[in-house]
Amino acid sequence: MAKRKKPVIGISADSNQGREHDLVDYKGDTVLWLKKSYTDAVEKSGATPVILPIVKAKGTIDAYLSLIDGIILSGGHFDIDPKLFGEKPLPQCGPLKPDRTLMEIALFKKARKMGMPILGICGGMQAINVGLGGTLFQHIPAQVPNALKHEQKPKPTKPSHNVILAKGSILKRIAGKDTLKVNSTHHQSVKDLGRGLTACARAKDGVIEALEPVDDKDSFIVGVQWHPEQLFDSDPFSRKLFKRFVASCGKYLDSDK
Protein backbone atom coordinates (compact mmCIF):
# COMPACT_ATOMS: atom_id res chain seq x y z
CA MET A 1 0.00 0.00 0.00
CA ALA A 2 1.32 3.41 -0.89
CA LYS A 3 2.27 5.40 2.17
CA ARG A 4 0.21 8.53 2.54
CA LYS A 5 2.02 11.82 2.13
CA LYS A 6 -0.49 14.08 3.81
CA PRO A 7 -1.84 13.45 7.29
CA VAL A 8 -5.38 12.09 7.46
CA ILE A 9 -7.56 13.74 10.07
CA GLY A 10 -10.62 11.98 11.45
CA ILE A 11 -13.49 14.26 12.43
CA SER A 12 -16.24 12.89 14.65
CA ALA A 13 -19.69 13.05 13.07
CA ASP A 14 -22.76 14.53 14.68
CA SER A 15 -26.10 12.75 14.39
CA ASN A 16 -29.72 13.78 14.62
CA GLN A 17 -30.83 10.68 16.55
CA GLY A 18 -33.82 10.52 14.21
CA ARG A 19 -35.43 13.58 15.72
CA GLU A 20 -34.23 17.14 15.31
CA HIS A 21 -34.11 17.97 11.64
CA ASP A 22 -36.36 19.00 8.84
CA LEU A 23 -34.95 16.93 6.01
CA VAL A 24 -38.18 15.41 4.78
CA ASP A 25 -36.59 12.44 3.02
CA TYR A 26 -34.81 11.38 6.20
CA LYS A 27 -37.59 12.00 8.69
CA GLY A 28 -37.37 9.48 11.50
CA ASP A 29 -34.01 8.11 10.33
CA THR A 30 -30.84 8.59 12.30
CA VAL A 31 -28.56 10.61 10.05
CA LEU A 32 -24.84 11.26 10.48
CA TRP A 33 -23.81 14.78 9.57
CA LEU A 34 -21.10 17.39 9.90
CA LYS A 35 -20.81 21.03 8.91
CA LYS A 36 -18.61 21.26 5.84
CA SER A 37 -16.59 24.07 7.44
CA TYR A 38 -14.70 21.35 9.42
CA THR A 39 -13.61 19.36 6.39
CA ASP A 40 -12.89 22.55 4.40
CA ALA A 41 -10.62 23.92 7.14
CA VAL A 42 -8.70 20.63 7.32
CA GLU A 43 -8.30 20.38 3.55
CA LYS A 44 -7.27 24.03 3.18
CA SER A 45 -4.67 23.42 5.91
CA GLY A 46 -3.02 20.68 3.84
CA ALA A 47 -4.48 17.50 5.33
CA THR A 48 -7.05 14.95 4.19
CA PRO A 49 -10.32 15.03 6.16
CA VAL A 50 -12.40 11.93 6.85
CA ILE A 51 -15.61 11.77 8.84
CA LEU A 52 -15.78 9.19 11.63
CA PRO A 53 -19.25 7.66 12.02
CA ILE A 54 -20.55 7.03 15.52
CA VAL A 55 -19.77 3.42 16.47
CA LYS A 56 -19.79 1.37 19.64
CA ALA A 57 -17.31 -1.46 19.09
CA LYS A 58 -13.86 -1.00 20.56
CA GLY A 59 -12.42 -2.82 17.55
CA THR A 60 -13.88 -0.23 15.18
CA ILE A 61 -12.45 2.62 17.26
CA ASP A 62 -9.05 0.90 17.12
CA ALA A 63 -9.44 0.55 13.37
CA TYR A 64 -10.18 4.29 13.04
CA LEU A 65 -6.99 5.06 14.96
CA SER A 66 -4.92 2.94 12.58
CA LEU A 67 -6.27 4.92 9.62
CA ILE A 68 -5.74 8.48 10.87
CA ASP A 69 -2.96 10.78 12.09
CA GLY A 70 -5.04 13.26 14.08
CA ILE A 71 -8.51 13.75 15.51
CA ILE A 72 -10.96 16.61 15.60
CA LEU A 73 -13.72 16.09 18.14
CA SER A 74 -16.34 18.31 16.58
CA GLY A 75 -19.14 20.36 18.02
CA GLY A 76 -22.76 19.88 17.08
CA HIS A 77 -26.33 20.05 18.20
CA PHE A 78 -26.07 18.20 21.50
CA ASP A 79 -25.21 18.47 25.17
CA ILE A 80 -22.93 16.11 27.05
CA ASP A 81 -25.02 13.76 29.20
CA PRO A 82 -24.82 15.21 32.75
CA LYS A 83 -24.90 11.62 34.05
CA LEU A 84 -21.31 11.35 32.83
CA PHE A 85 -20.25 13.95 35.40
CA GLY A 86 -22.59 12.85 38.14
CA GLU A 87 -25.42 15.35 37.74
CA LYS A 88 -29.09 15.24 36.84
CA PRO A 89 -30.04 17.21 33.73
CA LEU A 90 -31.34 20.76 34.28
CA PRO A 91 -34.55 21.66 32.42
CA GLN A 92 -32.47 23.67 29.90
CA CYS A 93 -30.46 20.62 28.92
CA GLY A 94 -30.43 20.09 25.14
CA PRO A 95 -30.48 16.83 23.16
CA LEU A 96 -28.15 14.16 24.56
CA LYS A 97 -26.21 11.87 22.25
CA PRO A 98 -24.61 9.45 24.66
CA ASP A 99 -23.40 7.03 21.93
CA ARG A 100 -21.55 9.86 20.29
CA THR A 101 -20.05 11.17 23.54
CA LEU A 102 -18.93 7.72 24.70
CA MET A 103 -17.25 7.07 21.36
CA GLU A 104 -15.49 10.44 21.44
CA ILE A 105 -14.23 9.87 24.97
CA ALA A 106 -12.94 6.38 24.07
CA LEU A 107 -11.29 7.75 20.93
CA PHE A 108 -9.72 10.62 22.84
CA LYS A 109 -8.28 8.44 25.60
CA LYS A 110 -6.73 5.95 23.24
CA ALA A 111 -5.41 8.60 20.84
CA ARG A 112 -3.82 10.47 23.73
CA LYS A 113 -1.96 7.33 24.83
CA MET A 114 -0.71 6.93 21.26
CA GLY A 115 0.55 10.54 21.16
CA MET A 116 -1.87 11.41 18.36
CA PRO A 117 -2.71 15.13 18.00
CA ILE A 118 -6.23 16.03 19.14
CA LEU A 119 -8.24 19.20 18.61
CA GLY A 120 -11.54 19.44 20.49
CA ILE A 121 -13.97 22.07 19.25
CA CYS A 122 -16.96 23.27 21.32
CA GLY A 123 -18.74 20.07 22.44
CA GLY A 124 -15.50 18.25 21.53
CA MET A 125 -13.61 20.27 24.14
CA GLN A 126 -16.33 19.50 26.68
CA ALA A 127 -16.04 15.77 25.87
CA ILE A 128 -12.28 15.93 26.59
CA ASN A 129 -12.96 17.58 29.93
CA VAL A 130 -15.68 15.13 30.98
CA GLY A 131 -13.59 12.20 29.71
CA LEU A 132 -10.91 13.22 32.20
CA GLY A 133 -13.35 13.49 35.11
CA GLY A 134 -14.23 17.17 34.76
CA THR A 135 -17.67 18.77 35.03
CA LEU A 136 -19.71 21.29 33.03
CA PHE A 137 -22.03 24.18 33.62
CA GLN A 138 -25.16 22.75 32.05
CA HIS A 139 -26.62 26.15 31.19
CA ILE A 140 -24.44 29.27 31.44
CA PRO A 141 -27.29 31.83 31.80
CA ALA A 142 -28.64 29.92 34.83
CA GLN A 143 -25.34 29.05 36.47
CA VAL A 144 -22.74 31.73 35.72
CA PRO A 145 -23.49 35.13 37.30
CA ASN A 146 -23.06 38.13 34.97
CA ALA A 147 -22.22 35.92 32.03
CA LEU A 148 -21.56 37.34 28.59
CA LYS A 149 -23.79 36.29 25.73
CA HIS A 150 -22.23 33.00 24.63
CA GLU A 151 -25.06 31.98 22.29
CA GLN A 152 -24.34 34.10 19.26
CA LYS A 153 -27.21 34.33 16.77
CA PRO A 154 -27.83 33.62 14.01
CA LYS A 155 -24.47 32.22 12.83
CA PRO A 156 -21.01 32.22 14.34
CA THR A 157 -19.29 33.40 11.19
CA LYS A 158 -17.95 36.51 12.94
CA PRO A 159 -16.25 36.91 16.34
CA SER A 160 -18.46 38.13 19.19
CA HIS A 161 -16.41 38.22 22.41
CA ASN A 162 -12.81 38.33 23.55
CA VAL A 163 -10.81 35.66 25.32
CA ILE A 164 -7.66 36.17 27.35
CA LEU A 165 -4.92 33.64 26.70
CA ALA A 166 -2.91 32.13 29.55
CA LYS A 167 0.83 32.63 29.80
CA GLY A 168 2.85 29.71 28.50
CA SER A 169 -0.12 28.13 26.73
CA ILE A 170 0.13 26.65 23.27
CA LEU A 171 -2.61 29.01 22.08
CA LYS A 172 -0.68 32.04 23.26
CA ARG A 173 2.42 30.80 21.47
CA ILE A 174 0.41 30.34 18.28
CA ALA A 175 -1.37 33.70 18.61
CA GLY A 176 1.68 35.70 19.71
CA LYS A 177 -0.63 37.97 21.72
CA ASP A 178 -2.71 38.02 24.91
CA THR A 179 -6.23 38.44 23.59
CA LEU A 180 -8.27 36.92 20.78
CA LYS A 181 -11.68 37.80 19.46
CA VAL A 182 -13.68 34.58 19.03
CA ASN A 183 -17.14 33.47 18.00
CA SER A 184 -19.42 31.81 20.52
CA THR A 185 -22.26 29.35 20.14
CA HIS A 186 -22.50 27.41 23.38
CA HIS A 187 -24.79 27.40 26.40
CA GLN A 188 -22.61 24.98 28.35
CA SER A 189 -19.00 25.37 29.47
CA VAL A 190 -16.33 23.72 31.58
CA LYS A 191 -16.92 24.04 35.35
CA ASP A 192 -14.30 21.89 37.08
CA LEU A 193 -11.33 20.99 34.91
CA GLY A 194 -10.59 17.30 34.30
CA ARG A 195 -7.45 15.60 35.59
CA GLY A 196 -4.26 17.19 34.32
CA LEU A 197 -6.03 19.92 32.33
CA THR A 198 -5.47 23.65 32.59
CA ALA A 199 -7.57 26.55 31.28
CA CYS A 200 -5.60 28.36 28.60
CA ALA A 201 -8.24 30.90 27.61
CA ARG A 202 -11.06 32.56 29.52
CA ALA A 203 -13.72 35.09 28.63
CA LYS A 204 -14.09 38.20 30.82
CA ASP A 205 -16.93 36.56 32.77
CA GLY A 206 -14.55 33.76 33.79
CA VAL A 207 -15.99 31.16 31.41
CA ILE A 208 -13.27 28.73 30.34
CA GLU A 209 -12.85 29.06 26.58
CA ALA A 210 -9.90 26.73 25.94
CA LEU A 211 -7.97 23.97 27.66
CA GLU A 212 -4.83 21.92 27.28
CA PRO A 213 -3.02 19.33 29.39
CA VAL A 214 -0.58 20.65 31.98
CA ASP A 215 1.96 18.06 30.83
CA ASP A 216 2.06 16.28 27.44
CA LYS A 217 3.90 19.28 26.03
CA ASP A 218 5.29 17.14 23.23
CA SER A 219 1.90 16.31 21.80
CA PHE A 220 -0.82 18.61 20.50
CA ILE A 221 -3.94 18.40 22.65
CA VAL A 222 -6.08 21.51 22.61
CA GLY A 223 -9.74 22.15 23.28
CA VAL A 224 -11.41 25.39 22.21
CA GLN A 225 -14.93 26.37 23.15
CA TRP A 226 -15.33 28.52 20.05
CA HIS A 227 -15.44 27.56 16.34
CA PRO A 228 -12.18 28.33 14.51
CA GLU A 229 -13.42 26.33 11.50
CA GLN A 230 -16.19 28.89 11.00
CA LEU A 231 -13.70 31.78 11.12
CA PHE A 232 -11.14 30.05 8.92
CA ASP A 233 -11.43 32.32 5.88
CA SER A 234 -11.65 35.61 7.80
CA ASP A 235 -9.37 35.16 10.81
CA PRO A 236 -5.58 34.64 10.60
CA PHE A 237 -5.40 33.05 14.07
CA SER A 238 -7.91 30.34 13.11
CA ARG A 239 -5.80 29.48 10.08
CA LYS A 240 -2.65 29.40 12.24
CA LEU A 241 -4.33 27.09 14.76
CA PHE A 242 -5.33 24.59 12.05
CA LYS A 243 -1.91 24.88 10.43
CA ARG A 244 -0.16 24.10 13.71
CA PHE A 245 -2.53 21.18 14.37
CA VAL A 246 -2.00 19.77 10.88
CA ALA A 247 1.79 20.18 11.27
CA SER A 248 1.62 18.10 14.46
CA CYS A 249 -0.43 15.46 12.61
CA GLY A 250 2.23 15.46 9.88
CA LYS A 251 4.91 14.79 12.50
CA TYR A 252 2.80 11.99 13.94
CA LEU A 253 2.50 10.46 10.46
CA ASP A 254 6.26 10.71 9.88
CA SER A 255 7.00 9.17 13.25
CA ASP A 256 5.45 5.85 12.06
CA LYS A 257 3.70 5.34 15.39
Active site residues: 122, 227, 229
Q: How far is the CB of 189 from Mn ion (least distance, A)?
A: 7
Q: Could you say whether residue 74 binds Mn ion (CB under 5 A)?
A: no
Q: Could you say whether residue 152 binds Mn ion (CB under 5 A)?
A: no
How far is 220 from 157, CA to CA, in rounded Å? 25
Q: How far is the CB of 240 from Mn ion (least distance, A)?
A: 20
Q: Total number of residues binding Mn ion (CB under 5 A)?
A: 2
- Among the listed residues 23, 48, 225, the one whose alpha carbon sits nearest the alpha carbon of residue 124: 225
199 alpha carbon, distance to own chain's centre: 15
Q: Could you say whether residue 150 binds Mn ion (CB under 5 A)?
A: yes
Beta-strand (E) ranges in 58-158? 70-73, 118-121, 136-137
| Residue 24 three-state SS | helix
Q: Which is nearer to Mn ion, 97 or 202 (CB)?
A: 202
| Interaction residues for Mn ion, span 182-211 (CB under 5 A) | 184
Q: Which is nearer to Mn ion, 17 or 152 (CB)?
A: 152
Q: How far is the CB of 227 from Mn ion (least distance, A)?
A: 10
| Interaction residues for Mn ion, span 165-184 (CB under 5 A) | 184
Q: How far is the CB of 203 from Mn ion (least distance, A)?
A: 5
Q: Which is nearer to Mn ion, 101 or 189 (CB)?
A: 189
- Sign of the C-alpha dihedral, residues 93, 95, 99, 100? negative
Cβ contacts of 7 within 8 Å, gap of 6 or more: 47, 48, 69, 70, 246, 249, 250, 252, 253
Q: Say how many C-beta atoms besides its own lie within 10 A of residue 112's C-beta.
A: 19
Q: Which is nearer to Mn ion, 85 or 137 (CB)?
A: 137
Interface residues with Mn ion (CB under 5 A) are: 150, 184
